[in-house]
Structure 1
Amino acid sequence: MFSGMIFIFAPLVVGYLISISKNSALETINKMTSYLIYVILFLMGLSLAALDNLGQNLQLIIKFTATFFICISLCNLAVLPLIDKLYPIHTDNKSSKLPLASMALESARLILVVGGGLIAGLLAGMDLDWVDTASEWILFLLLFFIGIQLRNSGLTLRQILINRQGMLIALVIVGSSLIGGVISAYILDIDLYRGLAMASGFGWYSLAGILMGDAFGPVYGGASFMLELLRELVALIMIPMLIRIKPCTSIGYAGATAMDFTLPVIQSTGGVRCVPIAIVSGFILSLLVPILMLFFVSLAV
């Protein structure tokens, strides 16, 4: 049952064991990771083009995306305000204009890459049986680089453990998201473990879409990618509006992106006190995405 999980998870573990001190080497790995994400998302588009009844499957992707997004978001937002009430954060009261449009454009670019793969696959008229194999090998390399990035993120175990709010936010997101996954699986009448796997992306759209696509095919991969990307876009809008009155809610809803993509928004609108909380929460969730998702994938029928 767990052989497939171990096979996929091994590159992440091996990468996490590697410590790199040279900044130039880390920058190279970061660039290679970004390039690999674009490549594998393009391959995801190609795999969508290879589907029979493409129109019907696209409707299914939209249905899955909408159901999981609504259920998970409602569960997250029902619990996160309790942390603000129990452990309030005093944010810096200042206003700041952010280039939210340019940040949203980066997310839109990823959608265009998938769309480009889809169009290329439809127009090429070639055999696409090689796409799944190529995606798997690129996935292994991507997980290896991600493991290195997590190891060299600058956070020690002690820094994580002493930040109570960051840990609590991450645990609440995990618990409430999984509840949303169970509800979504019931509504969509799909396997429970597939629903739990779908709910374990926590905003990491690139990795979540890749893992789900590799495990269950391009319909699940596309839905997972769109689900987590939609979460990030909503977080970009929500954080500036709510972070001064609900900082823990804003940080938590950002999910795994709180330690990277949405961190500038959190820092600029919430102040420096929010930064360590966001980094710890985002780091824990980023670490749990491959662990939980691969675990539930291994249990799914």
Structure 2
Amino acid sequence: MYSGMLIVLLPLALGYGIPCRSQSLVHFINVAVARMVYLILFLMGISLAFVDNLSTHLGTIFTLCGVFLACITVCNLAGLWLLDLRRGRVEGERGAPVISKWALLLDSVKLCLVILGGLALGQFLDPEWFAVDTLSEWALMLLLLLIGIQLRNSGMKLRQILLNRWGLAIALMVVVSSWLGGLAGAWLLDLPLTQGLAFASGNGWYSLSGILIGDRLGPVMGSAAFLNDLARELIAILIIPALMRRHPSCAIGYGGATSMDFTLPVLQRSGGVAIVPVAIVSGFVLSLAGPVLILSFLSFTTG
């Protein structure tokens, strides 16, 4: 029950304990994390190729993704909208240049192409000698070690996090509303509730949720989790500019863990620099909570 959590949390904790004062080394780690994400997704594609009768599972993958995405999106936006009502209207700074959504969308398309590339290569590999599961596990541990170093050197101090009540409130609302959406999705799909909660705990961190869920529940479920969180990121890019003016909590929170990195430029340009600390705190908390919550729910599912 606890071995899977140890494999994930130990490298993350070790990485978080490593201070890094060299800016060039920090830059190298950032680049390495980006490359590791591509590697893990490529291996996920190979794992998917090893599934027997894959074509018969595609409908399952897209059904799982569609149902969970719809349920979690509705619950997230409803909960964050209520949070905005409680806070009152908050205007962000205006006048910043509009970021190119197409460039960001292209990055997401590249991720899908990487999986398809792994899927194509996997057709020519023999699962008997190509230990894709072992490679994926080691790649994940290295990725988490590097992410732990990133988080330690992100400039976020515990005092800054605890004092930013708006960022903490957004993160808490995202977690709770996502759980409600995950429970609804599991009920509609007749899945164990713990699986629905695990799906809902990815918070947009597609590479992590896909590989963790795939490792425990198989590549079909892992691919569905990946697509669910990737689609959430794509939707966030599209709706942030429209939501920021009247519903800033919705704009910041819907991107989940990506609000501290991938969607942060969109948030900054839509809401101004005053939004950045809130987005970073929210994304930081969700990034730390993601692997703990996913593995906790999966441990109850798999026993």
Normalising by structure 2, we get a TM-score of: 0.96
List aligned pairs for 1:1-301, cutoff 5 A. Answer: 1-87=1-87, 88-94=89-95, 96-122=97-123, 124-127=124-127, 129-301=130-302
| Deviation (angstroms), 1:111 | 0.3
Q: Tell me the distance in 1 between the aligned counterparts of 2:217 and 2:132.
A: 14
Structure 2 counterpart SS, 1:202: coil
| Deviation (angstroms), 1:237 | 0.5
Q: Tell me the distance in 2 between the aligned counterparts of 1:107 and 1:228.
A: 11
Q: Which has the higher mean CA deviation after the structures are superposed, 160-169 or 205-214?
A: 205-214
Q: Which has the higher mean CA deviation after the structures are superposed, 206-215 or 156-165?
A: 206-215
Contact 1:167 1:281 in 2 (8 A): yes
| Deviation (angstroms), 1:95 | 6.1
Deviations 1:96-129 (A, max 9, x none): 332110111001100000011111112x153365
Contact 2:69 2:228 in 1 (8 A): yes
Deviations 1:40-74 (A, max 9, x none): 11111111111011012111110110011000001
Contact 2:96 2:272 in 1 (8 A): no
| Deviation (angstroms), 1:286 | 0.9
Q: Tell me the distance in 1 between the aligned counterparts of 2:12 and 2:98.
A: 37
Structure 2 counterpart SS, 1:238: helix
Contact 2:12 2:144 in 1 (8 A): yes
| Deviation (angstroms), 1:210 | 1.4
Deviations 1:121-176 (A, max 9, x none): 12x15336511111111111111111111111110011011111100000000000
Aligned amino acid, residue 127 of structure 1: P
Contact 2:91 2:246 in 1 (8 A): no
| Deviation (angstroms), 1:191 | 1.6
Aligned residues: 300
Aligned amino acid, residue 57 of structure 1: H
Q: Which has the higher mean CA deviation after the structures are superposed, 220-229 or 28-37?
A: 28-37
Contact 2:233 2:258 in 1 (8 A): yes
Q: Tell me the distance in 1 between the aligned counterparts of 2:122 and 2:176.
A: 39
Contact 1:194 1:300 in 2 (8 A): yes
Please tell me the root mean square deviation across aligned C-alpha atoms, in Å: 1.3
Q: Tell me the distance in 2 between the aligned counterparts of 1:8 and 1:248.
A: 30
List runs of 5+ in structure 1 lacking aligned partners. none
Deviations 1:201-257 (A, max 9, x none): 101111111111122111111011100110010000100111111111111111111
Aligned amino acid, residue 218 of structure 1: P
Contact 2:232 2:255 in 1 (8 A): yes
Q: Tell me the distance in 1 between the aligned counterparts of 2:300 and 2:13.
A: 20
Aligned amino acid, residue 288 of structure 1: A
Contact 2:8 2:291 in 1 (8 A): no
Going from structure 1 to structure 2, the CA distance change for 1:276 and 1:8 (only over 3 Å counts) comes to closer
Aligned amino acid, residue 68 of structure 1: F
Contact 1:5 1:297 in 2 (8 A): no
Q: Tell me the distance in 2 between the aligned counterparts of 1:125 and 1:277.
A: 46
Contact 2:186 2:193 in 1 (8 A): yes
| Deviation (angstroms), 1:272 | 1.4
Aligned amino acid, residue 72 of structure 1: I
